[in-house]
Amino acid sequence: MKESIKVLIKQAMSNKDVRNQIIKQLSSEETIAAVKKRLTKKYKGSLKDQWVDFKYWMKVWHVCLGTTKPDQKKMLNAMLEYPWMLDLLKTTSMGKRYTEGRTGIALKMTWKTVLLQAGATIEQLQNVILDPENTILAQVMVPTQIYKAMGLKYFICETPANTMVMMDQHCHEKYIDNSVNNGLPDDTCTYASQTPGVVLAGDLPNPHTVMVCSNLPCEAGFASYAIMERELGVPTYRLDVPYNFREEGAREAYIKDLKGMIAFLEEHTGHKIDWEKLKEECEIVNQLNEIELERWEMNRSETPPLCNDVLWFPHLCFFQLDAGRADALELFKELQKLGRRAHYFKECSVKPLKYRAILWNPPTFGYSYFWSWLERCWGIGIVNDMETFGTLNFIDTSSPDSMLAGLGEQWCNAAMSRHTRGPAENWMGDLAKVNEMYRPDFILNLNHMGCRSSLGLTGAMIDWANEKDVSNCIVNYNMYDSRVVSRQGIRDQINNFMTNIMHAEPLDSSLLVFDDSNDW
């Protein structure tokens, strides 16, 4: 096996295009800047914190380096065919940035989430490359519990682009440009434009089975999957989430649609649904919901133990991106235990906590660790956010129809369905609820310039904030493209608000302005 790997690497390096691509990536300004930063960094923290940091850093490396373990030859071939897979090796760098300046229980909770997310991403890759016959392509906003109950594996189509941008702010830009160059309007939301760019470049593993998607998050996402269906040439089923799911008959229509999806999968894959297995999956959802509601409640205290990505990142990964995993339930139980401990000892995750805020609209993935900057520069703790907050319904597992109704309800209430695509009263109504629950010092409204829904509601939000006498920090940004608004551009807008409106002094003035334009 070792000899075959040597031959494979030798063949790759003899290919001029592959060799040049590897050399270009290793010698890029971004790589050099990242290595210099790691080598010159001086760690601050207790001996225990340093041990936790090192231990989980090693665990994440172990998981990432184990990507090829099941079948080294096939997985190494895949890395050469899909070069974005190499960006998974930057996971430890992402974890270090998320945890920079963080200590105690919050440090441990962050690393635990990064570790499981790395493993979940690699598992999806192994599914589609090593077992394509039993793996389907799936959109992120479709209930994965149904696939699991059918004995199907899945690969989330958004995984490459979402993974890359969180690891490295520039490495996915070629895919956004690829979509635009192939006819997708250049003002399309970059969340929707980057994944078809991956497909058009031939960089998405295709198991040649089926693909399942929905009309979420918006019409741009719907259009992007039309491009992907054409390019991939696989049978595709589209779920239609009702625009106003509170209307009579809307939920029933979605349940009927879920049944249609099951029939489609049974016909094209030969896998049949196991309702007892679906019951087990739904019970996992119920337990996760119970834990998440307790986490929200703990953050209402004077010393919230789960601020910023400590709350957001686990919810994003295991309620939305890869929902309802059994190992995610184990993670949330651990996070619940650690959160309770921090709550009991009044250990806030932000030290020192100067301002409590609500984040409305999705955070910036191109500056995925801006949470750490908020903490270290201004002492800001985000106690809840739009992607996390919503309606968590408990699923009735007494019958197949009640389970499908519960799953339908769960996804009709998902952030992108309920808020940025659903009726305006959902967006404003939930903002009023979360403001009443947490009484924040201000609202941080990240105004994604590629989302016409949220841009159109900016005026209504300003009127609401004025009426309620709530300070409102509006920050224009692009969720996935830092060429539109740079990381420093985001910081400048927050700095201006904190200085001129909140009359605050930074905890560390060296963090107000610095050049990270070539940083990962």
Q: Record the pTM.
A: 0.87
- Beta strands 472-477 and 442-448 are parallel
pLDDT at position 2 = 44
CA-CA distance, 445 to 434, in Å (whole number)? Answer: 13
The token pair that represents 510 in the structure block? 């060296």
3-state class (DSSP) for residue 445: strand
Instruction: State which residues form the domain around 338.
Output: 281-511
pLDDT at position 518 = 78
- Local confidence pLDDT in tens for the 520 residues of the chain: 445 444 555 555 566 666 666 666 666 776 666 666 654 554 556 889 999 999 999 999 998 888 878 888 888 888 888 888 888 888 888 888 899 889 999 999 999 999 999 999 999 999 999 999 999 999 988 889 999 999 999 999 888 888 888 888 888 888 888 888 888 888 888 888 888 888 988 888 888 899 999 887 777 777 788 888 989 999 999 998 887 777 788 888 888 999 999 999 999 999 999 999 999 999 999 999 999 999 999 999 999 999 999 999 999 888 877 877 889 999 999 999 999 999 999 999 999 999 999 999 888 888 888 899 999 999 999 999 988 987 788 999 999 999 999 998 888 887 777 777 767 778 888 889 999 999 999 999 988 877 877 777 888 888 988 998 999 999 999 888 888 899 999 999 999 999 999 999 999 999 999 988 777 7
3-state class (DSSP) for residue 80: helix
The answer to whether 315 and 271 have CB atoms below 8 angstroms apart is no
326 within a domain of the structure (yes/no)? yes
The token pair that represents 461 in the structure block? 């939000």
3-state class (DSSP) for residue 336: helix
142 within a domain of the structure (yes/no)? no
Q: What is the side-by-side strand order in the sheet with 236-239?
A: 153-156, 135-138, 211-214, 236-239
Task: State how many domains the chain has.
Answer: 1
145 within a domain of the structure (yes/no)? no
pLDDT at position 340 = 96
424 within a domain of the structure (yes/no)? yes
- 464-474 burial code (b ≥16 CB/10 A, e <16): bbeeeebebbb
CA-CA distance, 346 to 105, in Å (whole number)? Answer: 11
CA-CA distance, 319 to 316, in Å (whole number)? Answer: 6
**Chain Cα centroid distance, residue 37:** 25
User: In degrees to the nearest 10, what's the CA dihedral of 60, 65, 68, 73?
Assistant: 170
- Cis bond before residue 196 (omega within 30° of 0): no
25 within a domain of the structure (yes/no)? no
343 within a domain of the structure (yes/no)? yes
The answer to whether 494 and 5 have CB atoms below 8 angstroms apart is no
pLDDT at position 105 = 94
CATH of the domain at 418: 3.40.50.11900
The answer to whether 291 and 252 have CB atoms below 8 angstroms apart is no
- Tell me whether residue 174 is exposed, middle or buried, using C-beta atoms within 10 angstroms of its C-beta: 0 to 12, 13 to 18, 19 or more: middle
160 within a domain of the structure (yes/no)? no
The token pair that represents 419 in the structure block? 């808020």
CA-CA distance, 278 to 150, in Å (whole number)? Answer: 8
Strand partners, 136: 154
pLDDT at position 5 = 47
379 within a domain of the structure (yes/no)? yes
In this structure, which amino acid lies at residue 257?
A: D
